[in-house]
Amino acid sequence: MEKNHLKFVALSRLFQKHPQFKTLENLKMYYPKEYTDLVVAHQRQQSPGLIISLMRQESSFNTQTVSPVGARGL
């Protein structure tokens, strides 16, 4: 399991149980900068924030994710 995925799962559980921990610093870990930079560099008309949020929701930033219908990764 990827490091980013484990971090996402841990932070998701933390934020659900203790919303007071949704600080700017913790949210930076929840939305890894490496992916933000990649999306911003390649974005066209879509909001980078929307794309990053979809990546987080759909794959937890796990590049090895495969959906039941074959969609892959981020």
Does residue 35 contact residue 61 with C-beta atoms inside 8 Å?
Answer: yes
- Given a cut of 90, whether residue 18 has pLDDT beyond it is yes
Could you give the 3-state DSSP secondary structure of residue 31?
Answer: coil
pLDDT at 17: 93
Please state the pTM of the whole predicted model: 0.57
Q: 4 falls in which pLDDT band (50, 70, 90)? A: low
Distance CA 11, CA 60 (A): 11
pLDDT tens digits for 19-70?
A: 898 888 877 777 777 777 788 887 778 788 788 888 878 887 777 888 888 8
Which residue type, as a one-letter code, is found at position 51?
A: I
Please state, as a whole number, how many other Cβ atoms lie within 10 Å of the Cβ of residue 69: 5
pLDDT at 67: 82
- Token code pair at residue 37: 């930079």
Distance CA 46, CA 19 (A): 29
